[in-house]
Amino acid sequence: MSHTRTGKFPIGFRRIASAWQRDLQTVIDFAKANRFAGIDVDAVTPANIQSIASAGLRIGMVRNFFTQRSFRNCILGLGLFLGLGARAPNTYAHPRPAVTVGVYYFDGWNYKNSHLTKELATRFAYRKPIWGWYDNTEAIMREQIDLAADHDIAFFAFDWFYKTVANNHALHLFLKASNRNRMKFCVMLTSTITPKEWNNCSRRLLAYFKQPTYLRLRGQAFLIIYNPGGLIHNFGGVAAMRKAFGQLRAKAKKEGIPGIQIAGIHSPVNLNNLVQAGYNEVTGYKYRPFRYDAFVLHSRPKPFSELIASSRRKFNTFVGAPLLYIPAITVGCDHRGTNDFRPSDWFPRTPHYLERFVRMGVRWIYHFHHGSSSPAKRVLMLGAWNEYGSDAFLTPTASRGDAYLDAVKRAVATPPNAYSGELPAMREIVKPPHSSGDK
């Protein structure tokens, strides 16, 4: 072990953001090979603490302020580094999440399927995650899993494409990740397939359902359909769709899967048709509280509170619906970073307002799903994990750190009776159109 000549202080290795250091295990091996006493991990999490401590190394943090993780985790890390006998990871008290939180994962950030626009790379570069625009490595996937799990996100809902293999790269990385057991996953069938493709599609879906980390709600595999109306149309009606779902469920039982819970993303389709087609739930993806207007020449910023209020009104339309509704929180709504942006309203956001939004969703669930006594039966969807073009993302950035993830964690850990479902009048500063609204 290396020590200073004067004072015999242990020498640690400071981890920075270079490419080879993104994989923590690589850094651990390097530190041990070069006889360093410890590692400055930049962002201390219980998972990082456990990995480093089990390798016989100490943990330190060289920072004059804390942005990447909570103060609690920093103290745990410094305690191990100084040999003060900090408690082992996962032994601290932590509030049980009030709901089961899932987040949509958009696989648009690999070299074969890049949605990086000129606007994102320049005007909206502040949205870039700390690992860069591209996330197509196992090391980055492991980091994302740790981030999500550490912030009480229970599962990723991967956008799954039947025909485009490049769009499913992130899901394959998840299934290879050594820490995948920290959270669950499910798939959202994004492609509108035909009856001829159904058998092959079912076979591939069943392979996912059999994965030990596949999400089960009420004991059954959870499948989301992005375009239920389009799928019903392709199959020729609700009766044919119900028959196809029945075949999928029958095959699942033969494979030892108790059943399949199917949720449809709400679209202009009659909910009774979804019931007849064999759906169990209805949910959302991202709600836009505006319509594109061909006569609007300039985009306009509007208060984020309007997005919250609009979504609450949307939620209320499902009260008494024939299908269970799973609320969906639009974590950001500013489409100026996309290629297909058309003049429309956008909503500058802050972690504070996202926390209010998520709390409203939790409160709504408790008020209208009061019969569900377990968090596993109370589900909240977030849209999305990484849709940078529309400002709908939770991943950490250089400017914000983990602020949006921290907001989600605080919101879902707060008992529902600690806040009101109603939003009091509040003043917001709406930044001018040339401003990012997030810096």
Distance CA 393, CA 338 (A): 14
| Averaged pLDDT, groups of 10, the chain, 439 residues long | 64 71 76 78 67 76 46 44 37 68 91 81 95 92 97 97 84 96 97 94 97 95 96 96 98 96 87 95 82 53 91 92 94 86 78 95 84 70 94 95 96 68 39 38
pLDDT at 27: 78
CATH 3.40.50.300 fits 100-190+285-418, yes or no: no
- Whether the CB-CB separation of 100 and 380 falls below 8 Å is answered with yes
Alpha helix locations (H) across 181-303? 195-209, 228-235, 238-254, 271-277
State residue 63's pLDDT score.
47
Q: What is the CA radius of gyration of the chain?
A: 23
Q: What is the DSSP letter of 411?
A: H
- Provide the sign of the torsion angle of the four alpha carbons 27, 30, 32, 36, taken in this order: negative
CA distance 260 to 252: 8
Per-domain residue ranges for the chain?
12-82, 100-190+285-418
| pLDDT computed for residue 111 by the predictor | 65
Q: Are 436 and 126 in contact (CB under 8 A)?
A: yes
- Which residue stretches of 255-318 are H helix? 271-277, 304-316
Amino acid 428: pLDDT? 40
Q: What's the pLDDT at 43?
A: 60
**222/208 Cα distance (integer angstroms):** 11
112 Cβ contact list (under 8 Å, min separation 6): 166, 169
Q: For residue 47, give the nearest of 16, 21, 24, 13 by alpha carbon.
A: 24
Quickly list DSSP for 360-401: HHHHHHHHH-TT--SGGG-EEEEE-SEEGGGTEE-S-BTTTB
Instruction: Give the bridge partners for 216, in sequence order.
Output: 221
pLDDT of residue 373: 56
What span, in angstroms and rounded, lies between the C-alpha atoms of 6 and 8?
6
Residue 43, preceding bond cis, omega within 30 degrees?
Answer: no
